[in-house]
Chains A and B, each alone.
Chain A
Amino acid sequence: MSRRLAHVDRVGIEERAAQLGARSIKTTAKQQGIRLAVSVIDLTTLEGADTAGKVRQLCAKAVCPAPTIPEIPSVAAICVYPSLVAVAREALAGTGVRTASVATGFPAGQVSLEAKLRDTEDAVAAGAEEIDMVISREAFLAGDDVRVMREVARVKDACGDAHLKVILETAELGSYDHVRHASMLAMEAGADFIKTSTGKAAAGATPGVCLVMLEAIRDHVERTGRIVGFKAAGGVSTSKAALHRLVLVKETLGDEWLTPDRLRIGASSVLNDLLMQYAKTESGRYGRSEDFSRE
């Protein structure tokens, strides 16, 4: 069965994304932008070596990223593997920071649907409030849109009250046309958020990819009235990159989207760079890595 791909012009998309990267964000706008960026971070650790100790330390950072700068808010959520969800929930109790878990055989997703559903149910049972699933690239690249959507819908059911982010793994899809198509499939199948990447592939939330997905969201909301959020993950490692993503969201979807309910940035190391840049706006000095804690 042949599919009809949406047309996305790569040169045009990348030009527009780059143009928006040239916005000059200074002084009060920069401070406000940094605080906003922190507030939408899903602070992430997804390593084989993760343990309860590591996760507890990260949770403390998530709740209070910079004790010396009280106006820096908590991040939006912590993102961990299912086996560490319970630890995170306990550490975050009463703080307002949410617990998100990857599931469905993250990151490759090359397991049976049953295993993906079980993975999801386990995470939810352990207390995950948000689930980040991966679409089946194997099905997508074979052109089986029906199976891609069916899996998303089944996982959505298994989430219960938890909200579902659907990871497209854009670096593996092949082209912007495919990214847009995958975005539409995920939204149509019930995603609460669409997310660029696992952070484990060669590329992540490049400006061009983000813009394509934001335009897809814009059209979907226009057509159906249903809000779907956007999460940029992978490759957003500097303040400049984070602010660029915020500009893309602002100028594509509007200021109403600058809230953790509709926007997330999945990251780990960018948080300290944001704190360093914030400190610089106050003190005028360029910082060093020792100025902020590393978990």
Chain B
Amino acid sequence: MTVEPRTSIVWEYAPAPEATDHLRLAERYGLFIGGAFCEPAEARYVPTINPATEEPIAEIAWAGPRDVERAIEVARAAQPRWAALPDRERGKYLFRIARLIQERARELAVVETLDGGKPLRESRDVDIPLAAAHFFHYAGWADKLRYGVVARKVEPLGVVGQIVPWNFPLLMAAWKLAPGLACGNTAILKPAETTPLTALLLAEICQEAELPDGVVSILPGDGTVGATLVRAPGLDKIAFTGSTAVGRDIQTALAGRGMELTLELGGKSANIVFEDAAIDQAVEGIVNGIFFNQGHVCCAGSRLLIQESVLDEVIAKLWARMGRLRIGDPLDKNTDVGAINSAEQLERIETLVAAGEDEGAVRRSVACSLPERGYWFAPTLFTDVSPAHRIAVEEIFGPVVSVLSFRTQAEAIEKANNSRYGLAAGIWTDKGAKAFEVASALRAGVVWQNTYNHFDPTAAFGGYKESGFGREGGPAGLRPYLRVVR
């Protein structure tokens, strides 16, 4: 009989990789137009890469100008019949899609992780469930539009072009398609260059749901496909989520054309910690705010504003907590921080981080062993940051947090608002009155109090200033897809 020694052990979590043998991925995917997968007019197939391994996963057809034109024709032809369906029938198609996403949840989560690099825990617990929930929520609005938008009569816009980013591929597709379709529009979705796969699986789901042909088209490709879509005649609206730079291009391209437009762009959101915050929970919120999805989040809390009286305590706790982050194989269920989405994005992060060091901020990066292949960046903390530093002003879109201090509530508000962006903010305080006053003073579209990065289909999301305009979620998310007739 053994008596266990009374010294401590090191308890390693064994590798816990999610299985991939259940996946049913094709070697090659065509475009999805008119309810069917088809070859592009000019054959162009590009592999989509797993950023954790740099291995190709499947070959993807990229759309050309003639494909864009055809998709718009097909969508235009399908739109009147789609809009003329009894509202509740339209809703029932969306309920079907929601349930199918739930049924194929595991598969979708694994594919999302393989294609984009985010930890399986996130795609499984956040991306996929929220995508299903979004379809479920908007399914129920289809026959209740008169309650969601106050008007005597509304009608759909017609055909909408929707361009989504690579950080939450399926979820962003759901944010765009669900309200658009619920309101009676038909849609052409352009997924991001590096993450087309879950959109293509969503196309399969649309087929399984027997969605009428032409209601949804999926056109993968790079930025030129998006640019073509934006400039093509025959669309009533563009909805875009992505960088402010591209958003600006799109807004310019639409000038004078009388089209509807919504933009959800970049951010440099302030996460504000007051001295009377629940400090340990604030540290969790900071970590969640900037390291969730490797910081590839438009609303990431990338500027950490700490009240000076608790500055050292928070930094010490934050640094210790960062040391517990598990960085590595995104498919491992215990991974907290996955791969950077692409070589290009990694280079952008590295450039800005180098600038941060050059400008005099103090950098600390978590010591971790990173795999040989793939794109990786260790979670990084910058202290001694000044408001003028590039790392305090520009969006890094990576696992890098810049710490600034403030003395008073008024100063925190001023610093937080001192940005061209205005997407989100976090407020950590135990005092309700303060939380609400700061919330009302912040020029940000989403304010999280004592939490961060919480999303719900019922809660409107969108930015102020150069973070974009228009809202997604809740009844506010219906307006951008309807025209008030009376």
Task: Point out residues on A near B: beta carbons under 8 Å.
Answer: 6-9, 11-13, 15-16, 22-30, 32-33, 35-36, 39, 63-64, 70-71, 73-74, 95-97, 215, 246, 250-251, 255-262
Contact A24–B11 (Cβ < 8 Å): no
**Cβ contact within 8 Å between B14 and A260:** no
Complex interface: chain A residues within 8 A of B11 (CB): 29, 32-33, 36, 246, 250, 255, 258
Instruction: State whether A24 and B2 are in contact (beta carbons under 8 Å apart), knowing that A16-B284, A29-B11, A258-B11 are contacts in the complex.
Output: no
B13→A9 contact, CB < 8 A: no
Q: Which of A22, A36, A97 contacts B121 (CB 8 A)?
A: A22
The answer to whether A215 and B6 have CB atoms under 8 Å apart is no
Assembly CA distance A166 to B262 (angstroms): 59
B16→A32 contact, CB < 8 A:
no
Q: Which of A6, A7, A39, A255 has the most chain B CB atoms closer than 10 A to its own CB?
A: A7
Name the CB-closest residue of B to A31.
B14
Q: Is B154 an interface residue (CB 8 A)?
A: no
B-side contacts of A11, CB under 8 Å = 450-451
Say whether A26 contacts B16, CB under 8 Å: yes
Hey, which chain B residues are within 8 Å of A22, CB to CB? 121, 125, 333
Cβ-neighbour of A215 out of B12, B276, B280, B334 (below 8 A): B280
Contacts of A33 in B (CB 8 A): 11
Given A8-B281, A11-B450: A74 and B10 interface contact (C-beta under 8 Å): no
User: Does B277 have its Cβ within 8 Å of any Cβ on chain A?
Assistant: yes
**17 pairs, A vs B, C-beta closer than 8 Å:** A7-B430, A9-B450, A16-B281, A22-B121, A24-B334, A26-B16, A28-B14, A30-B14, A32-B12, A36-B11, A70-B1, A73-B3, A97-B3, A251-B324, A255-B9, A255-B11, A260-B4
What distance in Å separates the Cβ of B306 from its nearest Cβ neighbour in chain A? 16
What number of A-B contacts does a CB cutoff of 8 Å give?
93
Q: In the complex, which residues of chain B have a beta carbon less than 8 angstroms from the beta carbon of A96?
A: 3
Q: Is B7 at the interface (CB under 8 A from chain A)?
A: yes
Q: In the complex, what residues of A have CB within 8 A of residue B4's CB?
A: 35-36, 39, 73-74, 260
A27 to B17, CA, bound (A): 12
A-contacting residues, B1-33, CB 8 Å = 1-4, 6-14, 16
**Neighbouring B residues of A95 by C-beta, 8 Å:** 3
Which 10 pairs of residues, A with B, have the shortest CB-CB distance? Answer: A12-B281, A24-B16, A73-B4, A29-B14, A39-B4, A24-B333, A7-B278, A259-B8, A9-B281, A9-B278
One digit per residue, 1 when the CB lies within 8 angstroms of any chain A CB and 0 when it does not, for chain B 262-286 equals: 0000000000000011111100110
- Let me know if B277 and A7 touch, CB within 8 A: yes
Q: Is the CB of A7 within 8 A of B9?
A: no
Known pairs A24-B16, A28-B14, A33-B11; A13 contacts B2 (CB<8 A): no
Q: A9-B450, A11-B450, A28-B14 are in contact. Are A23 and B281 (CB under 8 A)?
A: no
> Given the complex, which residues of B lie within 8 Å of A251, measured CB to CB?
324
Chain B residues, Cβ within 8 Å of A36: 4, 9, 11
Whether A74 and B1, one on each chain, are in contact in the complex, defined by CB atoms closer than 8 angstroms, is: yes
Shortest CB distance A75–B (Å):
9
Nearest chain A residue, comparing its CB with the CB of B16: A24
Q: Chain B: which residue is nearest A33 at the CB level?
A: B11
Partner among B10, B14, B121 whose Cβ is within 8 Å of the Cβ of A26: B14
CB-contact partner of A12 in B3, B6, B125, B278, under 8 A:
B278
A12 touches B451 (CB 8 A): yes
* Contact, CB under 8 Å: A255 / B450: no
7 further contact pairs, Cβ within 8 A, besides A29-B14, A35-B4, A260-B4: A7-B277, A12-B278, A29-B11, A246-B11, A251-B324, A256-B8, A257-B8
Name the residue of chain B whose CB is nearest to the CB of A72. B2
Q: Which residues of A contact B14 (CB under 8 A)?
A: 25-30
- Contact indicator B13/A24 (Cβ below 8 Å): yes
Q: How far is the CA of A32 from the CA of B7 in the complex (A)?
A: 15
Contact in complex: B285, A12 (CB < 8 Å): yes
Q: Which residue of A lies closest to B333 (CB)?
A: A24
A259 adjacent to B1 (CB under 8 Å): no
- Given the complex of chains A and B, what is the CA–CA distance between A259 and B8 in angstroms? 5
Within 8 Å by CB of B2, from A74, A250, A259, A262, lies A74
In the complex, what's the smallest C-beta–C-beta distance from B330 to chain A, in angstroms?
A: 14
A74 cross-chain contacts in B, Cβ below 8 A? 1-4
* In contact, B13 and A25 (Cβ under 8 angstroms): yes
Contacts of B3 in A (CB 8 A): 73-74, 95-97
Residue pair B13, A23 in contact (C-beta under 8 Å): yes
The complex places the Cα of A167 from the Cα of B70 at a distance, in Å, of 72
Q: Are A29 and B12 in contact (CB under 8 A)?
A: yes
- A12/B8 in contact, CB under 8 A: no
Most buried by B among A13, A24, A63, A257: A24
Pick the most buried of A9, A36, A71, A255: most chain B CB atoms within 10 A of its CB.
A9
B window 420-440: CB within 8 A of A: 430
Q: Which residues of B contact A250 (CB under 8 A)?
A: 11
Chain A residues near B7 (CB-CB < 8 A): 259
Q: Which residue in chain B gives the minimum CB-CB distance to A75?
A: B4
Cα of A260 to Cα of B125 in the assembled complex, Å:
34
Q: Which residues does chain A contribute within 8 Å of B280, judged by CB atoms?
A: 8, 13, 215
Q: Which A residues are CB-close (under 8 A) to B1?
A: 63-64, 70, 74
Q: Tell me, in angstroms, the Cα distance from A30 to B279 when the chains sit together.
A: 32
Given the interface contacts A24-B16, A24-B334, A73-B3, does A255 sit within 8 Å of B278 by beta carbon? no
Contacts of A260 in B (CB 8 A): 4, 6
Q: Which residue of A lies closest to B452 (CB)?
A: A12
A254 to B7, CA, bound (A): 13
B16 neighbours in A (Cβ, 8 Å): 24-26
Q: Report the nearest A residue to B316, measured CB to CB.
A: A222
User: Is B2 a contact of A73 with CB atoms below 8 Å?
Assistant: yes
**A8–B4 CA distance with the chains assembled, in angstroms:** 36
A251 to B324, CA, bound (A): 7
B124 and chain A: residue at smallest CB distance: A22
